[in-house]
Amino acid sequence: MYQLVVSDLDGTLLTPDHVIGGYTKSILEQWVEKGCHFVFASGRHHLDVFGIREYLGLPAYVISANGARVHDPDGNLVLGHDVPGDIIERVLAKVWDDKSLTVHLFQDTGWLSSRKNEDIEKYHRISGFGYSLFHHATLKSENIAKLSLTHPDHQYLVQYEQILSPMLEGVANVMFSSPFCLEVTAPKATKGDALEVVTAKLGIAREQTLAFGDAMNDKEMLEYAGKGLIMATAQERLKQCLHRHEVIGSCADEAVANYIAAYL
């Protein structure tokens, strides 16, 4: 029945320690050996996800930066959406002087961060992917797939969501990928739009897709899939928006793998 599984990473496929569980690795290998497809769909940089893909050894498409980039199993760029430079500058003008925020930018060549953040580094144990520091004054606002703001207080970021959403309405997407990460992408850069491109490339109907996610940046993907599954620990806003969607277990229990196993 289902021919393709697409999954978010953090809070979904990865354990709470941001690694791939042994059971999950085994199930994904069996899924692909069966002749079915697996697709990564993450807010992470594509080079970061490539490292995870290499660790798993799967010939998978990669949807990254919330759908701003799609790469095929050979690493070729299939789809790319950049945030216009004037939008980047408008956002930086609003946030740069707030030193309690960390600003992140994804360019094709790497990940830029406004300051060192050891807490974020724990997310990249598998891939070893890292960032370079940047300053607004010397930044070239081009070839940017995504801008992110991180802060340890969710409600603090909600204030910025309330500022940026109306300011960028119609010209950019503003969404939470986690309670502590607010992100800005181009209007067509969603995981749902990216998944539509991948399924068309593979000749797979949307009804034949299973999708797993836990955050608002997964919403369009979960809506597009034949069946979209929400993690137990997902953002409450996502559960409310997609209240008819099935809620499964948590990433700590490797719930994605448990669900896929029923179709092996």
Give catalytic residues, as residue numbers: 8
Phi-psi region of 205 (alpha: psi -120 to 50; beta: other; left: phi over 0): beta
What DSSP designation does 11 have?
Answer: I
What are the CB-based long-range contacts (under 8 Å, 24+) for 24-30? 24/254, 24/256, 24/257, 25/56, 26/257, 27/257, 27/260, 27/261, 27/264, 28/56, 28/58, 28/257, 28/260, 29/56, 29/57, 29/58, 30/264
Residue 191 in contact with residue 63, Cβ under 8 Å?
Answer: yes
